[in-house]
Every structure is written in structure tokens, then in C-alpha cells.
């Protein structure tokens, strides 16, 4: 049985050992798309991260493929319908609530983005590197006493609520699939969507990408927000309409935003060429974009890779 790992860099030794128990592991180097197309032809199991879009072309080339293993909750980089047509099972972290409760990396990044924005950490750091020592240029605001609005009160939303309470914030949450009692048990006040947008000083997005959440936040929603509001998205890029976000920032409809995800992410960052949000960052300091690093900690990657390897072993 051939097990092909498309992005083996820093891959968990424990996870590799599990795969080696069930087949021949091919994990020599990070694969280009062309190399992936060639290598997947006789692979039984394909182990991926987020580098590649697994689409019809790749699935058509994968004549023997039985399982795609991916240590993520979001699966928008995999054509799930096409995988189903090919009889390929996808082993992921989606729905693995008990295990995922131990993984806090993405929530921690969300909080870091808020702090980086309101305390001007990137700019202050760059200023000191130029041998400046001028704290008055980087006056920020505090979290204490402000209102934190959480969109999506699943695993990550609940963790963010804990952070908000630890920082003495007023926490409100919206999730149409979670009842008021559960939200209140999570130490947050339940609010309808429009109310949350208008009340929150800080808005953190934690919903999956599906037909209901594409462009969940667009021109209409930005008009409801405070001009002093900060928005952070570590979920999926298409949840926020990027044109609407750019317009809101330019018109000062919101104070700032932090993004770990973009609408059209591709390997190597080719999509960034000419991207208007990226261009905006070159002349403004109230938008921070980072390259989908929410889950990229040694701790979380090791643990999720081991979990998925064990899951694949059980499937077999």
C-alpha cells in the first residue's frame, strides 16, 4: 500500500511511524502540483495539509486512491463531491469535538491579532529596529470593559469567550445553531446577528465555510458596525467579502482588521499578486494579514497529524 505525503516538512515522527505500520510511505519532499499529479497515480492514501487544491484533475489521476488524510477542520481545499464520486474517503478533523477541545492554536492567533492591532505591535517593532524610541507614536486601547462579539459559538468561539472574560470584557455571541442556554453556559450573552454587529468593539469570526456563510459579512454588515470596531477572521476567507472589507477600511467604517485567511488562497501566494487588500497594507497599518498560520504550531501540528494517522489506521 502506497502512502503519499505531499507536504512532509517537519512531519510528526510519531505519525510517520503509524503510517509505516500500514504501508510504504513516500515523504521525500514537498511536492509541486505536477509532482503530486504524477505521484498520486498509484497512491492508496494521500496525506495533505493546505498547500494543494484537491480537485477533479488530481482525483481523476488517482486511480487507486482510497483515503485522503487531512489534519484540518476546514475542507474547502478538497472537492468533496468529486471525492465522493471517486469513492475516496476523507479523514479529517471535522466533527472530532472531543479531540479538538485540546487544540487552541487558532483561538490564540485570533487573540494575538486583536492585540497586535490595538497595541500597534508590528509598527512599534519596526520603529525600534530603525533605532527610534517613541512610545507616544503607538498609543493603543485596552480590551477591559469593551464588548467582544463572537460569530459562531462552537469550539473556537467558546475558547474566545474564555479569553474575553479573562480580559474583563463584555462577551456576546451569535450562533443560529446553538441555543441561548448553551451560549450562557459558555459565559457569553446571546445576541442576534445584527445586534452583535452594532454593539461589538471587537468581532471574532468562527464559523465554517458553507453556502450560508459565503459573504456572511459584506457591505450591509459593515455599515452596522461601530467605526471603532476591529474585526478578526481566522476561519475561511470567503466568509468576509474582501471588496466590502476594503471599502469599509478606506471609508473608516471600521477601525481595523486582522486576517489569517483569504478568499482565493493558492500554493506559493500567486493569488496575492495585485490583491487589493495586500496593496492596502503597504500604505496603512490597520490591516494585518498573515498566511493561514492559525493551526501552525509545533504542538497542534504534531498532535493533529498523530490523530489523523491513527484515524486512517482504524479505517483500514
Angle 155-166/105-118 helices, nearest 10 degrees? Answer: 40
Q: 281 and 304: one domain?
A: no
169, 141 contact by CB (below 8 A): no
Catalytic sites, residue numbers = 236, 265, 292
Q: 88 and 110: one domain?
A: no
pLDDT of 161: 98
Q: 135 and 224: one domain?
A: yes
Q: Residue-wise pLDDT tens for the chain (316 aa)?
A: 999 999 999 999 999 999 999 999 999 999 999 999 999 999 999 999 988 999 999 999 999 999 999 999 989 899 999 999 999 999 999 999 999 999 999 999 999 999 999 999 999 999 999 999 999 999 999 999 999 999 999 999 999 999 999 999 999 999 999 999 999 999 999 999 999 999 999 999 999 999 999 999 999 999 999 999 999 999 999 999 999 999 999 999 999 999 999 999 887 788 999 999 999 999 999 999 999 999 999 999 999 999 999 999 999 9
- Tally of helices (H runs) and strands (E runs) in the chain: 14, 12
The total of structural domains in the chain comes to: 2
Q: Over the stretch 166-218, which tens digit does the pLDDT of each residue have?
A: 999 999 999 999 999 999 999 999 999 999 999 999 999 999 999 999 999 99
Q: 306 and 174: one domain?
A: no
CA distance 89 to 292: 25
pLDDT of 266: 81
| Site of grid cell 513516500 | 26
Q: 109 and 255: one domain?
A: yes
What's the DSSP call for residue 178?
S
Cell of 26: 513516500
Residues 6+ apart with CB under 8 A from 253: 222, 223, 225, 227, 247
Question: Can you give the CATH number for the domain in which 39 is found?
Answer: 3.40.50.720
pLDDT of 134: 96
| Site of grid cell 481523476 | 60
pTM over 0.75, yes/no: yes
Q: 238 and 157: one domain?
A: yes
Q: 160 and 212: one domain?
A: yes
Helix (H) or strand (E) holding 306: helix 298-315
Cell of 106: 487558532
92, 308 contact by CB (below 8 A): yes
Instruction: Identify the domain containing residue 141 by its residue range.
Output: 105-289
Q: 86 and 212: one domain?
A: no
226, 198 contact by CB (below 8 A): yes
pLDDT of 267: 72
Q: 109 and 90: one domain?
A: no
295, 301 contact by CB (below 8 A): yes
Q: 80 and 111: one domain?
A: no
Q: 168 and 258: one domain?
A: yes
Q: 50 and 125: one domain?
A: no
Find, among 203, 200, 212, the residue nearest to 238 by Cα.
Answer: 212
Query: Can you tell me whether residue 26 is helix, strand or coil?
Result: strand
Amino acid at each position: 500500500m502506497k502512502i503519499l505525503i505531499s507536504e512532509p516538512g517537519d512531519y510528526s515522527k510519531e505519525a510517520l511511524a503509524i503510517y509505516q505500520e500500514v504501508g510504504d510511505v513516500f515523504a521525500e519532499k514537498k511536492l509541486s502540483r505536477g509532482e503530486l499529479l504524477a505521484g498520486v497515480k498509484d497512491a492508496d492514501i494521500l496525506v495533505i495539509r493546505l498547500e494543494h487544491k484537491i480537485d477533479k484533475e488530481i482525483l481523476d489521476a488517482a486511480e487507486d486512491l482510497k483515503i485522503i488524510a487531512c489534519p484540518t477542520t476546514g475542507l474547502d481545499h478538497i472537492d468533496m463531491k468529486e471525492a465522493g464520486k471517486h469513492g475516496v474517503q476523507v479523514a479529517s478533523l471535522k466533527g472530532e469535538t472531543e479531540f479538538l477541545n485540546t487544540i487552541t492554536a487558532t483561538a490564540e492567533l485570533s487573540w494575538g491579532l486583536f492585540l497586535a492591532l490595538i497595541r500597534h505591535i508590528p509598527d512599534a517593532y519596526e520603529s525600534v529596529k530603525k533605532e527610534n524610541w517613541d512610545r507616544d507614536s503607538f498609543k493603543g486601547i485596552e480590551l477591559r470593559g469593551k464588548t467582544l462579539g463572537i460569530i459562531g459559538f462552537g469550539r473556537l468561539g467558546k475558547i474566545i469567550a474564555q479569553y474575553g472574560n479573562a480580559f474583563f470584557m463584555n462577551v456576546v455571541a451569535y450562533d443560529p445553531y446553538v441555543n441561548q442556554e448553551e451560549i450562557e453556559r459558555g459565559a457569553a450573552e446571546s445576541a442576534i446577528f445584527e445586534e452583535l454587529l452594532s454593539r461589538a468593539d471587537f468581532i471574532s469570526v468562527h464559523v465554517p465555510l458553507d453556502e450560508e456563510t459565503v459573504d456572511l459579512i459584506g457591505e450591509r454588515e459593515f455599515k452596522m458596525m461601530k467605526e471603532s470596531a476591529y474585526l478578526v477572521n481566522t476561519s475561511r476567507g470567503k466568509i468576509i467579502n474582501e471588496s466590502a472589507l476594503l471599502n469599509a477600511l478606506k471609508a473608516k467604517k471600521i477601525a481595523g482588521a486582522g486576517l489569517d485567511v483569504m478568499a482565493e488562497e493558492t500554493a506559493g501566494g500567486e493569488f496575492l499578486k495585485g490583491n487589493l487588500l495586500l496593496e492596502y497594507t503597504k500604505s496603512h497599518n490597520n490591516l494585518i494579514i498573515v498566511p493561514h498560520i492559525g493551526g501552525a504550531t509545533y504542538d497542534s501540528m504534531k498532535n493533529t497529524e498523530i490523530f489523523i494517522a491513527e484515524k486512517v489506521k482504524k479505517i483500514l
